Chain A
Amino acid sequence: MSWYHYLLPYDFSPLTLIAFVVVLTMYLQGLYALPAEERPGALRVFTFLLGLLLCYTVMHTRFDYYSQYMFFIHRGQHLVLHHLGPLLLVLSNPLPIMRFWARQIPGWLGPVLWPVKMAYRVLQQPLIAATLFVGLIYLWLTPELHFDAMLSRPLYWLMNWSMLLDGLLFWWLILDPRSPHTERVLGYGKRIILLVLIIPPQSALGAWILFSDSMVYDVYEVCGRAWPLAPETDQMLGGILTWIPPAMMSGIAILIVVGRMMRDDRNSAKTQQADEAGEVHA
């Protein structure tokens, strides 16, 4: 197999290709159209592109082949789609680009988009969002459904896309770049509570997979593995990937939120001081 075969999709999905091309084009176009002072800096652009590239790679290259025929690589794929990729995309703060495109929406589209907005509001209720985030991991790892998802092409794509979209929703809620002091977004304390809440159920699932005596996910036996790795080893690695990295991601996200909280406090303290100083002078 030549090197470029590794870049080609194993299972070509036109809709996936279109979705990524559209997002990339809209991002670059928005970037180009924005005035220089609103335009995200090089590091932010890089973070966005890296997140996008990671998600595309695990979904639509040879990586996907290994994800379909090796349990632990499948867990790695979902780690990128549900955690790492969306986290990077959100951290890059694409808000200026999103605002640019929001301004392009013609007025008559407003009522059409209303149900989408409402659905978004419901899904972003903190408890719903956290339940959905953990629930989707559990759902697709239900042995029966996991078996079906690995056999059925439409279900497989639904699984991967639902993980990516839910990842974006959840990490946007947690790492929304807007400050709760000035805008109606989730408070920092609540963000941290959610990040802590999602750790135990994910760890429990990972530990359950890791310490299972029998094969929980036998579809990889039925369909054959990408290379002859002992099934126990495959399951063990998969369990570790379900357990440890998501907990670490929560930890990292908590540090980021705490950092922002402190910066916000300093900023508001400064403005307060400046206000007081202003009053004295006046």
Chain B
Amino acid sequence: MTGIIRALSVMALMLALAGCGGSGVEWHAKNIRGLMPDLEFTLTAPDGEPFTAEDRAGQVRLLFFGFTNCPDICPATMARLQNAVKQMPQDMRDEVTLLFVSVDPERDTPERVGEYVDFFGDNIVGLTSDEETLRTLAKRYRTTFGYGKPDENGDYDVSHSNAVYVFDGQGRARLLIRSDQSISQISEDLETLVRQGRD
């Protein structure tokens, strides 16, 4: 019963918040404001140093999970996001950071993740950590990942979420970009978010 009361009050609070924040913006992506916790993590950057959500505070951040051996989803997502950023007005592009988190620490060392993301552009940070830390982060954003059986070469598939989580400058969860969104739709959403941050 107490669980219900707590959950009900949380829902009431969420409704109230949604009421206050009703800016009337029509998003192309799924609005997840109030549904998910703020951006918070400590992972390892390519230089081996710890990297936290604070390191790019103030920026609109796009978080997504993948692995460098990923055959299709990851490179395609990365390219789509990069193109979306390129379609934004020049002075806004620097206010967006992509956070690529490899969930395959067995093969992906921090350096390797760094080399991989450098190939796509310089506003991407490649991150990883030990499996336990990654599982905690994935769970925080209610997603999961798993490993397939290795073939004779030791190669294996990694199942992971295909969604991109978008956080605003203050680290609040704002949008969930699904795989069926066009580049210009993503771009428009990001522009609106950056603009909101400036107001």
Contacts and interface: CB of A to CB of B under 8 A. Distances in A.
Interface stretch (A71-79, A127-135, A156-164, A201-209): A156-164
Given A151-B32, A151-B142, A152-B36, A223 B3 contact: no
Given A152-B35, A152-B36, A157 B176 contact: no
B162 A16 contact: no
A221 B11 contact: no
B146 A227 contact: yes
Interface string B1-43: 1111011101100100000000000000010101111000000
Given A69-B144, A226-B146, A227-B146, A158 B8 contact: yes
Contact of A157 (B1, B3, B36): B3
Nearest to A144: B30
B143 interface: yes
A223 B143 contact: yes
Contact of B7 (A65, A154, A221, A224): A154
Given A11-B139, A13-B3, A224-B143, A151 B161 contact: no
A271 B179 CA distance: 71
A223 B161 contact: yes
Contacts of B170: none
A153 B143 CA distance: 12
Given A68-B142, A151-B35, A154-B10, A222 B3 contact: no
Given A152-B36, A223-B161, A223-B163, A161 B139 contact: no
Contact of B161 (A15, A157, A222): A222
Contacts of B179: 221
B148 interface: yes
Assign chain A's interface to a size class.
20 to 34
Contact of A228 (B1, B7, B14, B159): B159
Given A154-B11, A155-B11, A223 B6 contact: no
A152 B161 CA distance: 16
A19 interface: yes
Of listed B7, B160, B161, residue having the most chain A CB within 10 A:
B7
A225 interface: yes
A223 B7 contact: no
B107 interface: no
What does DSSP make chain A's interface, helix, strand, loop or mixed?
A: helix
A19 B7 contact: no
Contacts of B51: none
A151 B36 contact: yes
A165 interface: yes
Interface of A: 10-11, 13, 15-16, 18-19, 65, 68-69, 147-148, 150-155, 157-158, 161-162, 165, 218, 221-228
10 contacts: A15-B3, A18-B2, A19-B1, A150-B142, A151-B142, A154-B6, A161-B3, A222-B176, A223-B142, A224-B161
Interface of B: 1-4, 6-8, 10-11, 14, 30, 32, 34-37, 139, 142-146, 148, 157, 159-163, 176, 178-179
Given A161-B3, A221-B179, 6 more contacts: A19-B2, A65-B144, A158-B4, A165-B1, A227-B146, A228-B146
